[in-house]
Chains A and B, each alone.
Chain A
Amino acid sequence: MSLDHKRLGVRIGLTALFFFAAGGVLALLMRAELARPGMQVVSKETYNQLFTMHGSTMIYLFVTPLALAMGIYLVPLQVGATRLAGARWALAGWWLLIAGGITMWLGMFVHGGGPDVTWVGFDPLSDGVNSPGRATDLWIFGVLLATLGEIGMAGAVMATLLTRRAPGMTMRRIPPFCWTMLATVLLALFSFPVLVVLMGLLWWERQYGGIFDGPDGPIIYQHLFWFYGHPVVYVMFFPFLGAVAEVIPTFSSRRLFGYQAFGFGVLLFASLSMSVWAHHMLTIDGVAVRYFTLTSTLLAIPAGLEYLSLVGTLRGGAIRLTVPMLFALAFVVQFLIGGITGVWVGSSTLDAQQNNSYFIVAHFHYTLLLGSVFGFFAGLYYWWPKITGGFLGERLGRWHFWLFALGSNLTFFPQFLLGQDGMPRRVANYPGNAGWGTLNLISTIGSAIIAVALAVFALNAWRSLRREAEPAPADPWGGQTLEWWTSSPPPAHNFDSLPPVRSHTPLLDLREKAPA
């Protein structure tokens, strides 16, 4: 029940990682089933439940809260605040997240099996006729509670950014990570409430009908869902982009190239991401295809600005290839693959070919796992000394990195080829004569390597927390932002003193002014 933002951030993060493990086990089961044609591991009904709960767990309970947890821990430290504004909202949010997660997972154990309506809960698939029983109702309440909790967390971060900045820390001097958090919480605060309302409506529809009954009902459902469902992709991306935008300058010993353009670009990116939702519906009649193709393609402009900032920072820098830097560079390369294939499926003509194929699965895993999760690990290895007061081992960290990079590319790159060849998503089986067996087997082997990589990380974290690692000083990396001014880990009140803030890199300014 602590209101200390550091404890809250760690606890929300640990909760999210717990759900990551749970969702990961479901993914391994799915990959085991798909390793060979035919049904070997689970039934088709169980497979439907597995991918529903895998997607729901990863989106609602893992990546989104993890992104917000990073903001809750880091934003007050980076803006020089003594505490989180609205910490009670964040605390309530954490408990609502836990309650939502438990409720959603309880559905797996009720009579008749778990929810099988996909993480989207498509109507009429999810209505009372097609998906009777308590599992889907519990899924609905789980999603609703978790999302309400995330809104509370986002509100606290927003209030901190607007009202708790230290003297001198104007908006044009907040660190790059804070710009990405501002974009994140704007998206969360103004798109997540639509999902909360939608889940309420879906529950009502299941009990009494009359909400999505007409011929346009399912389309209205999809509009409302994707108005949440696309921005959330960026909620699950921006904080990790922000982490990478902190890691790359520090380990290149340079300021972020084009800082102002980066901040403005993130806001533009976020606003466009609010206006592309129906590109998930491009194959449906009556959708404004030209508009949503245009806005989806325009996303390449702010994305290009961010990439220019990151790559421009590397140019001419004194690069140190530490573990956080390896993860950050992998993020840059791998997210590019996810991003470019996003332009591909954002085109209405190309999407007609790829829609509902494994190409889509590969695309969004390249953005979320090979992008966001790599960005998360870049940030985690970077801020670990600040959070725990110790280091993660470099050797195990490199093993973690290379295994994770190998495993995730082996898992998801073959899925582009499978999708191109026409393998549909959300299937438990495929014909033995389709020629998809080898690529599916490679994909399954890759998923096992991911599991090994994460076990290596768990071992590394355990050894560090057992204090087998050397204690960390306040600023072990030569950081540029205020969190590196205070001790590792920081005291309850965050700072005993603050340096003058005259740019977004106050610590680098001090070092440059100090006599050699």
Chain B
Amino acid sequence: MSRAIHSGWFWTGVWAMMLFAHTAYMGAFAGEIDLVDVLLLGGAGIAVFMVALLAMRRGDAEPPTEAVDAGSLPTVLAAVGFAALLVGVEVGPWLLAMGAGVLVAGLAGLARELRGRA
């Protein structure tokens, strides 16, 4: 415990517990419990708890010293392609097709970038 209190996962977990606590006393004060209320707040608590568990498994490792990429064009392409794809649903097939093409190019570039780092 004394070591855990210095870790990121511990405080993420504490926050999940706080959300669970607020969900728990909802029953006492809400009268009739609304399922939507419980699902929203309790669901968020569960999601935070899962992240805390993942962070605990990873541990607070020392930050690695690694080469830092200066920039990433594929990331930009993927983001812009995704946005165009989405807005294309409204604007028309021409933007949708362009967006899909840019997104695929971006994702392919990202895969290459990340493979190169591995």
Contacts and interface: CB of A to CB of B under 8 A. Distances in A.
A-B complex is real: yes
Interface in A284-332: 286, 288, 290-291, 294-295
A200 to B, nearest CB: 10
Contact of B41 (A138, A171, A274): A274
Interface in A62-104: 81-83, 88, 91-93, 95-96, 99-100, 103
Secondary structure type dominating chain B contacts: helix
Given A96-B82, A138-B87, A288-B34, A3 B72 contact: yes
Nearest to A95: B79
Closest 5 CB pairs of A and B: A99-B83, A170-B6, A271-B18, A288-B30, A162-B8
A231 to B, nearest CB: 9
A451 to B, nearest CB: 32
Contacts of A144: 86
Interface residues of B, number: 57
Contact of A92 (B25, B51, B78): B78
B67 to A, nearest CB: 10
Chain A interface extent, by class: 35 or more
Interface string A2-14: 1110000000000
B18 to A, nearest CB: 3
Interface of B: 5-12, 14-15, 18-19, 21-23, 25-26, 29-34, 36-37, 40-41, 44, 47-48, 51, 55, 58, 60-63, 65, 68-73, 75-76, 78-80, 82-84, 86-87, 89-90, 110
Interface string A194-208: 100000000000000
Contacts of B65: 82
A162 B79 contact: no
A68 B11 CA distance: 20
Nearest to A99: B83
B75 A92 contact: yes
A103 B7 contact: no
Contacts of B30: 288, 290-291
A331 B89 CA distance: 44
A162 B11 CA distance: 10
17 contacts: A1-B75, A3-B75, A95-B75, A95-B76, A100-B83, A163-B60, A164-B63, A171-B5, A271-B21, A274-B19, A274-B22, A274-B44, A275-B22, A275-B26, A288-B33, A291-B37, A295-B22
Contacts of A272: 18, 22
Contact of A191 (B6, B14, B22, B44): B44
Contacts, number: 152
B86 A267 contact: no
Contacts of B79: 91-93, 95-96, 99, 149
B12 to A, nearest CB: 7
A166 B62 CA distance: 7
A275 B19 contact: yes
Contacts of B84: 99
Nearest to B29: A291
Contact of A271 (B19, B70, B73, B86): B19
A194 B47 CA distance: 12
B18 A172 contact: no
B37 A267 contact: no
A167 B63 CA distance: 8
B87 A99 contact: yes
A270 interface: yes
Nearest to A160: B63
A280 interface: no
A190 B82 CA distance: 22
A2 to B, nearest CB: 5
B12 A145 contact: no
A161 B19 CA distance: 21
A71 B17 CA distance: 25
Contacts of A186: 12, 15, 48
Nearest to B90: A137
Nearest to A286: B34
A190 B18 CA distance: 14
Given A3-B68, A223-B36, A278-B37, A163 B8 contact: yes
B19 A1 contact: no
A163 B63 contact: yes
Contacts of A450: none
A96 B78 CA distance: 10
B41 A288 contact: no
Contact of A223 (B37, B51, B80): B37
B87 A166 contact: no
Interface string A246-285: 0000000000000000000001101110110110000000
